[in-house]
Amino acid sequence: MTQNLDLTDIQGNIVKAYGSFGFFKARYLFLRVDDGDKGRDFVGLITAKVTSAERWKKEAAPSVTTNIAFTYPGLKALELPTASLMGFPADFVMGMSKRKDILGDDGPSDPQHWDKIWQETVHIWISINGKSQEVIEERYQWILQQIEASRGVTLLEGHRGEDKDGNPVEDLPYQDASVLYDENGIPTAKEHFGYTDGIGDPVFEGQTNNAARVVGRGKLTREGGWEPLATGEFILGHVDEAMEYPQTAPRPDLLSNNATYMVYRKLHENVGTFNNFLDEQTAIFPGGKENKELLAAKFSGRWRDNGAPLVDTPDNESKAEWDKRFAAADVPTQKNMLTNFTYNDDISGAKCPLSAHTRRINPRGSLEYGVKDAFDTPGALVNRRRILRRGLPYGKIKDQTSDKGNHGIIFMALNADIKRQFEFIQQQWINYANDFKQGNDKEVLLGNHDAKNPGKVVLEVEEGSGKPPHFVCNIPRLVETRGGDYFFIPSITALKMIAGGIIDPT
């Protein structure tokens, strides 16, 4: 590690995925600033409880965290100077709903169908992550008191969800989220389609001293090793992969240093459609029912049960053998087995299809297409397109055969440049495939498939084997956007300056 970050200044949710620290529950609040002066006072009150990225000694770890972020209209409402506001990039200024043509939020994902809260202007996001529902409720009550006391901000209602009796409602004042528990009540890393999630999160310079954590998660070197990505890919005020400070930083430096941008997206999962689609497709997939899980893995690039990477386990036999080794391995070895792979021995996609989710969002070195030393570094087209993923599933499934109800993922992506990183992945790699030489073929799980004109993907087979590839056709829309926006997560220094009304770009 060549860089020491000022962890006491950076908000904790940037550096830590709270879920992996035992914070299995979360509540997200959205507010409107009604009065600049009183709004700034409110920011000051919340800042006192904002969780930094400071390393926790085991016994001193908190049981609940709080973080805060702002939309562009929010910063305007808090009366940041115009010269500072003008330094923000266009994507952030526009906000998520106005970027729908880029994000592919059309049809059922169109902003007009989003939760009611997104039909008005959101200014502030506050997150509470907790080890139990009780501590979350306690912190929530504390925040309600601050809202009450400030008299300058309003907690916005309008999240779809369920009331205490399980009845569907549309006007909740918060969005709850939680890991999913298995039948024995053990927390899992799964989402509602059954996939194991959040394994390959990127690692950047200054985040960890543990070299093992970088394997398969940093950037691939020419020698086949892994290095942490440049800090500036994820935190403003630090040098990025282009050897410069991120150009998305507003002035003054004290406003932008140690800050980042967050994409918040509520993604509804059409579970009934997914289960039905998987069964239908299994029936015509070679091997039939025995290969149902293999087919599910072909959509994602990882097996649903334990996240085994498909490149290392391309069939049931190799998977069974991998499972045995995985079960016998210690935790560091297990982590290595989950992340330490590339697609360089699978350029054709015979093992892990070019359309698979994990391959699309992080192609590792495979965009060199096996051409020896084509680029200066194997990840040349990838290292600037990485995002930190935070967030948790929300809702419970009552009926595996139905899409109805409220369940999905609260997806949060953190990056220094929303357009270059998150939007690029969404537009070019999920909803389009020229970089993968697959025309307009969308990724199966997240693609904005069009019911009137459904798409397909090709599951490749061994080249020269004489076997036909498998076509997955008539892919329905499996995931729908239900809301979201773009947020700026300032440093703790900047929060205090915003609260004090002393942001000065001159």
Could you give the maximum distance between any two Cα atoms of the chain, in Å? 72
Tell which one of 440, 500, 502, 504 touches another protein (CB under 8 A). Answer: 440
Q: Which stretch binds another protein (CB under 8 A): 19-27, 40-48, 141-149, 450-458?
A: 450-458
SS (H, E, C) 241-277: CCCCCCCCCCCCHHHHCCCEEEEEEEEEECHHHHHHH
Tell which one of 467, 474, 500, 504 touches another protein (CB under 8 A). Answer: 467
Is 238 an interacting residue with respect to another protein (CB under 8 A)?
no
Element (H, E) at 193: none
Is 501 an interacting residue with respect to another protein (CB under 8 A)?
no
Is 132 an interacting residue with respect to another protein (CB under 8 A)?
no
Nearest alpha-carbon partner for 20 in 191, 209, 198: 198
Q: How far is Cα of residue 50 from the mean position of the Cα atoms in its chain? A: 21
Nearest alpha-carbon partner for 179 in 401, 21, 386: 21
Nearest alpha-carbon partner for 178 in 109, 124, 128, 142: 128
Binding to another protein in span 389-428, by CB under 8 A: 419-420, 424, 427-428
**Cα–Cα distance measured from residue 54 to residue 4, given in angstroms and rounded to the nearest whole number:** 12
Structure tokens at 445: 């799980």
Tell which one of 25, 217, 364, 384 touches another protein (CB under 8 A). Answer: 384
Q: Which is nearer to another protein, 252 or 353 (CB)?
A: 353
Tell which one of 165, 328, 330, 439 touches another protein (CB under 8 A). Answer: 439
Is 450 an interacting residue with respect to another protein (CB under 8 A)?
yes
Is 374 an interacting residue with respect to another protein (CB under 8 A)?
yes
Is 368 an interacting residue with respect to another protein (CB under 8 A)?
yes
**Cα–Cα distance measured from residue 364 to residue 380, given in angstroms and rounded to the nearest whole number:** 9
Tell which one of 2, 141, 167, 465 touches another protein (CB under 8 A). Answer: 465
Q: What is the DSSP string of 222-244?
A: TTS-EEPBPGGGTSTTS--TTSS
3-state SS, residue 66? strand
**Cα–Cα distance measured from residue 490 to residue 502, given in angstroms and rounded to the nearest whole number:** 14
Tell which one of 177, 461, 479, 497 touches another protein (CB under 8 A). Answer: 461
Residues 6+ apart with CB under 8 A from 184: none
Tell which one of 41, 205, 460, 485 touches another protein (CB under 8 A). Answer: 460
Per-residue contact string for residues 470-489; x = within reach of another protein by CB under 8 A: -x------------------
Is 463 an interacting residue with respect to another protein (CB under 8 A)?
yes
Tell which one of 20, 82, 434, 474 touches another protein (CB under 8 A). Answer: 434
Q: Which stretch binds another protein (CB under 8 A): 13-21, 49-57, 129-137, 379-387?
A: 379-387
Structure tokens at 121: 């202007």
Q: Which stretch binds another protein (CB under 8 A): 117-125, 184-192, 372-380, 404-412?
A: 372-380
**Cα–Cα distance measured from residue 268 to residue 160, given in angstroms and rounded to the nearest whole number:** 11
Go through the chain and tell me how many residues it has. Answer: 506
Is 93 an interacting residue with respect to another protein (CB under 8 A)?
no
Residues 6+ apart with CB under 8 A from 125: 28, 29, 30, 68, 69, 70, 71, 262, 264, 485, 487
Is 344 an interacting residue with respect to another protein (CB under 8 A)?
no
Q: Which is nearer to another protein, 82 or 434 (CB)?
A: 434
Q: Which is nearer to another protein, 95 or 158 (CB)?
A: 95
**Cα–Cα distance measured from residue 301 to residue 299, given in angstroms and rounded to the nearest whole number:** 6
Q: What is the DSSP string of 150-170?
A: H-SEEEPP-EEEE-TTS-EEE
Is 348 an interacting residue with respect to another protein (CB under 8 A)?
yes
Binding site for another protein (CB under 8 A): 101-102, 104, 106, 241-244, 247, 348, 354, 368-369, 371-377, 380-381, 383-384, 419-420, 424, 427-428, 431-435, 437-441, 450, 452-453, 455-456, 458, 460-461, 463-469, 471
